[in-house]
Amino acid sequence: MGYTPIELDKMRNLRYGMKAISLVEKKFKKPIAKLDMGSLTMEDSAILIWAGLAHEDQNLTADKVMELIDDYSSLPAVMEAVGAAMTEAFGSAEQAETQEKNE
């Protein structure tokens, strides 16, 4: 599983492996597949981003993530990177459709 780089206070790397997914599911109290990505609050978005960064910074918090985005980036830029990292972790809809056709 690869990493998706993102520039904040320094170069950081998003990764949505099993541990990060588990962190998200614990915080939201539901499977990640049940999340409505279009209706996330700012705090929800920060939690999602934090989970993807937690592997390299155990002291990072969702509040700190919000500060880092405000100071060094923008939410749209970071969410684009989250989308790329999620595609890395789960594949795209096209990949899933192709796999279904080949089975």
pLDDT in tens, 17-55: 999 999 999 999 999 989 998 899 999 999 999 999 999
DSSP letter for 55, please.
G
pLDDT exceeds cutoff 70 at 103: no
Chain centre distance of CA 31:
14
pLDDT-above-90 percentage for the chain? 81
Task: Compute the distance between CA of residue 102 and CA of residue 81 in angstroms, rounded to an integer.
Answer: 29
Domain ranges of the chain: 4-102
CA distances from 101 to 16, 94, 98 (A): 26, 11, 5
State the residue for tokens 């405000």.
70
What was the pLDDT predicted at 102? Answer: 52
> Would you state the pLDDT for residue 94?
53
